[in-house]
Amino acid sequence: MLKNKGIAFKLSFLILMSSTLIFIFIFWYNYRFSHQVIVKNIEENARNLAQSTVNRLDIVPRTVEKVPQNLSYSLEAVSYTGGELIDVLRSLVENNPEIYGAAIAFEPYAYDRNALCFAPYFYKCKRKTEFTYLGDESCRYFYADWYQIPKELNHPVWTEPYYDEGRGNILMSTYSVPFYRTVLGKRKLMGVVTADISLSWLQANVASIKIAQTGYGFLISKNGTFVTHPDAGLIMNETIFSVAEARGDKRLREVGRKMISGKSGFVPFKSLRTGKKCWMVYAPFSSSGWSLAVLFPQDELMADVVRLNRTVIYLGLIGFLFLLVVIVLIARSITRPLSALANATGDIAAGNLDIELPPIKSLDEVGKLSHSFGDMKSSLKQYIEELTETTAAKERIESELKIAHDIQMGMLPKIFPAFPNRKEFEIYATIEPAKDVGGDLYDFFFLDEDHLCFTVGDVSGKGVPASLFMAITQTLVKTKATKGLISSTVLSRVNEDLSLDNPSLMFVTLFLGILNIRTGDLEYCNGGHNPPYIIRANGELEPVETTNGMALGVVEDFHYKSKKVLLQKGDSLFLYSDGVTEAMNENDELFTEERLEKELKLLKDKPIQELINSITEKLRAFSKGAPQSDDITMMRLKFYGEQGR
């Protein structure tokens, strides 16, 4: 994806991506950590607040509990008369400001055998203490919770909160203590002593709990009934479980069960009032088993952290933008000269070496690159100029060599048939130089009417020096070979001249033959050259006997000897240079005399020109494109005698 984008883009993209990731990670870690710390603090504070509130509020019921308890002890110990009971009860209500009302309720017929109910009750009403008897005909107290539960359980209890209908309609809870008397050895329940407390002070206290803007406290009874709640519709009407059912909230139900079972805790909770996410801390009252809950709205308590986090995000964004600008500028400063260089390189590649490189002042890598580029450009320019000159020089030399070649070739007899009006013999020769100018030579000319002189030679080395040496040799042979001389004399004289002034120590192998075209007598001398073959008319192939001559130009006064051989009608002579037998193929194998002899036997009956051309073909096929290492020269001379063919 990034492959096709520019450096500036890649650089900005990768750096910004990385820094964004780093920022996000740091932000996330910071957020989590600060969140945890704050939640931990809130939990600690919440638990302390709930516990201290409960402890403070629990003092009242704990104090109130003692009053009916003490009275029940004295009722068990002392027999009071009706009047005394009522007096005790009155002073109890009047002297305990926390107590709203108190009663002593007896079991059926327990106080008076003729009276089913006896339950004197004092209660406060408009700052006065009122008196009544509980338990008229329509209302038997025996089945009331405040009476029946302590009776059945045989221990004191706080009742569920209830409205005291008819007597001021206040919300209250009653603490009931059963009292007993031993009759005929049996401990028998006599009745219960009760003390009522109004819950309005509790409601007011809990209502005063305010956490942040919307946090609040609420109180539920042992049954889960709301005793206080900011939503008045819930009070004494709904339980925490009915709310859970209405909301379909199973977790709330579980929290409720923990609350009424006397546990304390700190749990996430959704406010019943605002629907906001809150933490809820709850703690039980040790007296009544009721549970106080306080809600801590999360968003309000976390507001500072949220604000901090928001600021951090904004700062991060600003930093991101700043980084973006800086990176883009840096990337641009790098890539602008680079792309200018790239454009210039394009021009240079197209051949324009005179283009001015963009000026770069900086000394950084780009500056160095630009500087090197300038150097490269001028070196290139210089090199190309030199190359142009060299090429021109080479071309000149080549053209001169061509001319030299043309001159050399011009020195060799090239027109065949060479002697169309001579029927006594036929002659054909070719030369194929390895380089443009070669060191091989051949020649044939008449010394007189009957004597044909012919030579084949090979100069040591190749190229221009060899060709020059060859030209000298050719010329010397032509001038030294005069009528009446034998071949050895000619070679001796040529050798003398060549050896006289030969500073470069070059030499030449040379075969020179003189044929009497009437008789077929061949007189010859071989100066270190490959011995030619005689192809007899009957097809036999025989090498020309050697004369043990040395290559010319080495030893000045070498004494050459000549030999004679008689050619019959139809015999022919095949001369060649070592370029034939030493032709190499790709595997560095030589053509060899064996191969040459085999070919000559096969081709012996062919016309002279065709034989040489065929061998040239064979050599080409053998070397198969391998570069020609030496000049290749071949000559064939066929003798017919006076009668001709």
Partner 1 sequence: MARGRIIFFLVLFLFVTVDVRGDDRALKKISFVPQWVPQAQFAGYYLANERGIYKKYGIDATIIPGGPDNPSLDLLKNGKADFATLWLSTGIQMRAKGVKLINIAQMMQRSALMLIAKKSSGIKKPRDMNGKKVGLWGPIFQIQPKAFFKRYNLKVKEIRQSYSVNLFLRDGVDVTSAMWYNEYHTILNSGLNPDELTTFFFHEHGLNFPEDGIYTLEGTFQKDPDLCKAFVNASIEGWRYAFAHPEEALGIVMKNLKKEHIPATLVHQKWMLARMKDLMLPQYARCPTGRLLAEDYNRVAEGLLDNGLIKEIPDYTSFYWKCVPNVEK
Residues in contact with partner 1 by the rule CB under 8 A:
142-145, 148-149, 151-153, 157, 159-160, 222-225, 236-242, 245-246, 253, 256-257, 260
**Chain Cα centroid distance, residue 43:** 47
In the complex, the smallest distance separating the C-beta of residue 156 from partner 1, rounded to whole angstroms, is: 12
- Per the DSSP assignment, residues forming a β-bridge with 584 are 590
In the complex, the smallest distance separating the C-beta of residue 196 from partner 1, rounded to whole angstroms, is: 16
Candidates 85, 277, 312; CA nearest to 191 is 85
SS3 label, residue 586: coil
SS3 label, residue 197: strand
- Per the DSSP assignment, residues forming a β-bridge with 512 are 455, 525
In the complex, the smallest distance separating the C-beta of residue 255 from partner 1, rounded to whole angstroms, is: 11
Residue positions counted in the chain: 645
Query: Does the CA dihedral 94-95-99-101 come out positive or negative?
Result: negative
SS (H, E, C) 211-262: ECCCEEEEEECCCCEEEECCCHHHCCCCEHHHHHHHHCCHHHHHHHHHHHCC
In the complex, the smallest distance separating the C-beta of residue 265 from partner 1, rounded to whole angstroms, is: 15
The DSSP line for 143-157 is: GSHHHHHHHHHTS-E
Q: Between 159 and 495, whose beta carbon lies closer to partner 1?
A: 159
Structure-token pair, residue 443: 């020649």
In the complex, the smallest distance separating the C-beta of residue 242 from partner 1, rounded to whole angstroms, is: 5
Q: Between 260 and 575, whose beta carbon lies closer to partner 1?
A: 260
Q: Between 253 and 493, whose beta carbon lies closer to partner 1?
A: 253
In the complex, the smallest distance separating the C-beta of residue 54 from partner 1, rounded to whole angstroms, is: 19
* CB-CB contact of 576 with 599 (8 Å): no
Distance between CA atoms of 280 and 554, rounded to whole angstroms?
A: 125
Q: Between 14 and 153, whose beta carbon lies closer to partner 1?
A: 153
Distance between CA atoms of 561 and 488, rounded to whole angstroms?
A: 5
In the complex, the smallest distance separating the C-beta of residue 311 from partner 1, rounded to whole angstroms, is: 45
- Residue 225 neighbours by CB under 8 Å, 6+ apart: 160, 161, 236, 238, 239
In the complex, the smallest distance separating the C-beta of residue 148 from partner 1, rounded to whole angstroms, is: 6
Give the strand pairing for 632-639 and 541-543: unpaired
The amino acid at residue 214 is: T
Q: Between 25 and 163, whose beta carbon lies closer to partner 1?
A: 163
Tokens 């021009």 correspond to what residue?
Answer: 347
Q: Between 270 and 332, whose beta carbon lies closer to partner 1?
A: 270
Distance between CA atoms of 242 and 252, rounded to whole angstroms?
A: 10
In the complex, the smallest distance separating the C-beta of residue 264 from partner 1, rounded to whole angstroms, is: 16
In the complex, the smallest distance separating the C-beta of residue 292 from partner 1, rounded to whole angstroms, is: 16
Structure-token pair, residue 268: 């996430």
Q: Between 134 and 360, whose beta carbon lies closer to partner 1?
A: 134
Q: Between 139 and 555, whose beta carbon lies closer to partner 1?
A: 139
In the complex, the smallest distance separating the C-beta of residue 221 from partner 1, rounded to whole angstroms, is: 9
- Per the DSSP assignment, residues forming a β-bridge with 527 are 510, 549
Q: Between 260 and 281, whose beta carbon lies closer to partner 1?
A: 260
Q: How many CA atoms lie within 13 A of 67 on its CB side?
A: 28
Distance between CA atoms of 459 and 204, rounded to whole angstroms?
A: 136
In the complex, the smallest distance separating the C-beta of residue 207 from partner 1, rounded to whole angstroms, is: 20
The amino acid at residue 468 is: L
In the complex, the smallest distance separating the C-beta of residue 295 from partner 1, rounded to whole angstroms, is: 20
Q: Between 291 and 487, whose beta carbon lies closer to partner 1?
A: 291
Helix intervals (H) in 294-362: 298-301, 303-349
Q: Between 80 and 142, whose beta carbon lies closer to partner 1?
A: 142
The count of other CB atoms within 10 Å of the CB of residue 383 is 10
In the complex, the smallest distance separating the C-beta of residue 259 from partner 1, rounded to whole angstroms, is: 9
Q: Between 257 and 270, whose beta carbon lies closer to partner 1?
A: 257
Q: Specify the DSSP class assigned to residue 551.
A: P
Distance between CA atoms of 219 and 153, rounded to whole angstroms?
A: 25
Peptide bond into 358 cis (omega under 30): no
Candidates 496, 512, 582, 497; CA nearest to 544 is 512
Type and span of the H or E element at 379: helix 365-411
Q: Between 225 and 271, whose beta carbon lies closer to partner 1?
A: 225
Q: Between 241 and 373, whose beta carbon lies closer to partner 1?
A: 241
